Chains A and B, each alone.
Chain A
Amino acid sequence: MTVPPPVLTATNIRKSFGDREVLAGVSLEAREGEVISILGGSGSGKSTFLRCLNLLEVPDEGQIAIGDVQAPLARNRHGRLEVSDSRAAARLRTQTAMVFQGFNLWPHLTVLQNVMEAPLRVHRRDREEVLATARSLLERVGMAGFHAAYPKRLSGGQQQRVAIARALATNPKLVLFDEPTSALDPERVREVLALMRSLADEGRTMIVVTHEMAFARDVSSRVVHLMNGRVESSGPPAHMFGADASPAFRAFLSPAAL
């Protein structure tokens, strides 16, 4: 059996905000088709780490590569790491997509326009082709009937499903999910998780920051526990949720009464 190639390689990512060290050297490799759940208490740095992966945050230290393309990070004359080539950074981001806790749909565009925007404007794909893809994606997320609606008219769960369609529209190599269900009502959480599960089943490479233990246990191929800005433990869910799990992770899980 051949090992699939890495889609993402993040090495020794460090990040501080002022005096507070949020990431104290986190490394992660995601191979094609992997679904990695990142768990951890609030303030453990999990969202910051995810945002470093597509350079929404610039790490203080470390390296990131998507496929075999290195992220354009270099030290400026003060010795701080910064994006050295913003066009290369934008090009790198076109290979990834992100789903946000707050959906962040563009309110001035309709559902269909939201989905079509990046493939049309950024990837400059053929309009007919983009339209066909967008329609089938909206079908897929169960939002085809809402293609002409503006986001404001939709419930949170519906907005998040559109945001997922938008993320898939460019056919990214890697989809980053930043607490995608944390802003949703309990009954809406289920519809979004079901959709994410179906994406995992079709072999999408996904990195998911989440509080949904059942999703992490049942869907992901690997679970990473972040604590105080470090990887406290990681492994396949059978191990992490089994008897040999690290005490710290077990302690993290216990209030969730699993």
Chain B
Amino acid sequence: MMDDLAILGFGPDGWAPLLLKGCLLTLAVSAASMAIGTVLGILLAWARLKGPRWLRRAALVYGVILRGVPELLVILLLYFGLPSLILSLSETFGWEAPGLPPPFLIGSVSVGLVSAAYQAEIFRGGVGAIPRGQFEAARAMGFSDLMCFHRIVLPQVARVVLPALGNVWQFNLKDSALIAVTGLSELMRTSLVAAGSTRHPFLFFGVAMALYLVLTTLSSTAFHYGGRYSNRWDRG
């Protein structure tokens, strides 16, 4: 039992520093994918709502594909599939062969691309929930589209979409575990390595579970208060 505590501690054989680093990396990669998903999701929602016909179609198809395939597959395709395609292309054309892509970047982009597909639906619904008169009042006073979006639409959409975005964030956080396949030593990968090298899988997977729960609970609390703040003008 004392062994267990030692390998979990901060001592020379302890895994605590690496596990904590793993937590931070999980948070970082989830935040990056969430941010990519939000920016791209807003653009996709805009494309679905106001884009020309071909763009509306393209955004629709994007959503169908990215929501319809396993996220692990997206990660594998971008991390292993795409470089091998580039490699064979570079052989054909005599370019310099590129190395393996950075796992953090590819990981957050892959999860972000999927996240964007879900967030686009949320933003689309959120904008639809704003009465038309809100836009008209702004336009009638000479607001530009951008200013109307920033000052009138965004704060009101935030209130509607924050609970749903909290859900997406929670999925992002959990899906970031799939990035372990790229070798990025986030929490999942670190606990896999720890479990293997110490031969205490139950202990380390149990600890990983507890750490994931801490991360999801803390962040859903943060979303709860964020939601309350964005809703401050609509209470009683």
Mark contacts of B120-149 with chain A using CB atoms, 8 A cut-off: 1 yes-contact digit, 0 otherwise. Answer: 000000000001011011111111110100
Q: Is B27 an interface residue (CB 8 A)?
A: no
Known: A100-B133, A107-B156. A121 touches B151 (CB 8 A): yes
How many Å lie between the Cα of A105 and that of B141 in the bound state?
12
Are A86 and B142 in touch, CB under 8 angstroms? no
Are B136 and A108 in touch, CB under 8 angstroms? no
Q: Tell me how far the C-beta of A133 lies from the nearest C-beta in chain B, rounded to whole angstroms.
A: 15
Q: Is A104 an interface residue (CB 8 A)?
A: yes
Residue of A86, A94, A102, A107 ringed by the most chain B CB atoms within 10 A = A107
Chain A residues 105 to 141 lying within 8 A of chain B, measured CB to CB, are: 105-110, 117-118, 121-122
Mark contacts of B136-180 with chain A using CB atoms, 8 A cut-off: 1 yes-contact digit, 0 otherwise. Answer: 111111111101000110011001000000000000000000000
Are B234 and A152 in touch, CB under 8 angstroms? yes
Number of A-B contacts (CB under 8 A): 71
Closest residue of A by beta carbon distance from B158 = A108
Q: Tell me how far the C-beta of B133 lies from the nearest C-beta in chain A, rounded to whole angstroms.
A: 4
Are A104 and B156 in touch, CB under 8 angstroms? no
Closest residue of B by beta carbon distance from A55 = B139
Q: Which of B131, B134, B147 contacts A122 (CB 8 A)?
A: B147
Q: Which of A91, A104, A107, A150 contacts B142 (CB 8 A)?
A: A91
Are B133 and A93 in touch, CB under 8 angstroms? no
Count, chain B residues at interface, CB 8 A: 21
Chain A residues 142 to 200 lying within 8 A of chain B, measured CB to CB, are: 150, 152, 166, 170, 176
Are A118 and B142 in touch, CB under 8 angstroms? yes
Cβ–Cβ < 8 Å partners of B54 in chain A: none
How many Å lie between the Cα of A90 and that of B133 in the bound state?
17
Q: Is B233 an interface residue (CB 8 A)?
A: yes
Are A93 and B141 in touch, CB under 8 angstroms? yes
How many Å lie between the Cα of A87 and that of B152 in the bound state?
18
Known: A56-B136, A100-B133, A102-B133. A118 touches B159 (CB 8 A): no
Cβ–Cβ < 8 Å partners of B145 in chain A: 86
Q: Tell me how far the C-beta of B121 lies from the nearest C-beta in chain A, rounded to whole angstroms.
A: 23
Known: A121-B151, A150-B233, A152-B233. A106 touches B137 (CB 8 A): yes
Are B234 and A98 in touch, CB under 8 angstroms? no
Q: Is A37 an interface residue (CB 8 A)?
A: no
Are B140 and A97 in touch, CB under 8 angstroms? yes
Q: Is A210 an interface residue (CB 8 A)?
A: no
How many Å lie between the Cα of A46 and that of B41 in the bound state?
40
Q: Is A205 an interface residue (CB 8 A)?
A: no
Q: Tell me how far the C-beta of A153 lies from the nearest C-beta in chain B, rounded to whole angstroms.
A: 8
Closest residue of B by beta carbon distance from A56 = B136
Cβ–Cβ < 8 Å partners of A170 in chain B: 141-142
Residue of A54, A87, A96, A106 ringed by the most chain B CB atoms within 10 A = A106
Mark contacts of A71-104 with chain B using CB atoms, 8 A cut-off: 1 yes-contact digit, 0 otherwise. Answer: 0000000000000001100111110111010101
Are A56 and B140 in touch, CB under 8 angstroms? yes
Cβ–Cβ < 8 Å partners of B141 in chain A: 93-94, 97-98, 117-118, 122, 166, 170
Are B142 and A108 in touch, CB under 8 angstroms? no
How many Å lie between the Cα of A216 and that of B155 in the bound state?
39
Q: Tell me how far the C-beta of B233 lies from the nearest C-beta in chain A, rounded to whole angstroms.
A: 4
Known: A93-B142, A152-B234. A98 touches B147 (CB 8 A): no
Are A122 and B234 in touch, CB under 8 angstroms? no
How many Å lie between the Cα of A92 and that of B145 in the bound state?
15
Known: A56-B139, A104-B137. A87 touches B144 (CB 8 A): yes
Q: Tell me how far the C-beta of B150 lies from the nearest C-beta in chain A, rounded to whole angstroms.
A: 9
Cβ–Cβ < 8 Å partners of B138 in chain A: 106
Known: A107-B156, A108-B159, A117-B151. A98 touches B140 (CB 8 A): yes
Give residues in B with beta carbon < 8 Å to A: 131, 133-134, 136-145, 147, 151-152, 155-156, 159, 233-234
Pairs A–B under 8 Å by Cβ, sample size 24: A56-B136, A56-B139, A86-B144, A90-B142, A90-B144, A93-B141, A96-B140, A100-B136, A100-B137, A104-B137, A106-B137, A106-B152, A107-B234, A108-B156, A108-B233, A117-B151, A118-B141, A118-B142, A118-B143, A121-B143, A122-B141, A170-B141, A170-B142, A176-B140
In addition to A86-B144, A152-B233, 12 A-B residue pairs with Cβ atoms within 8 Å of each other are A56-B136, A56-B140, A91-B142, A92-B142, A98-B140, A104-B137, A106-B152, A107-B156, A108-B233, A117-B141, A118-B142, A150-B234
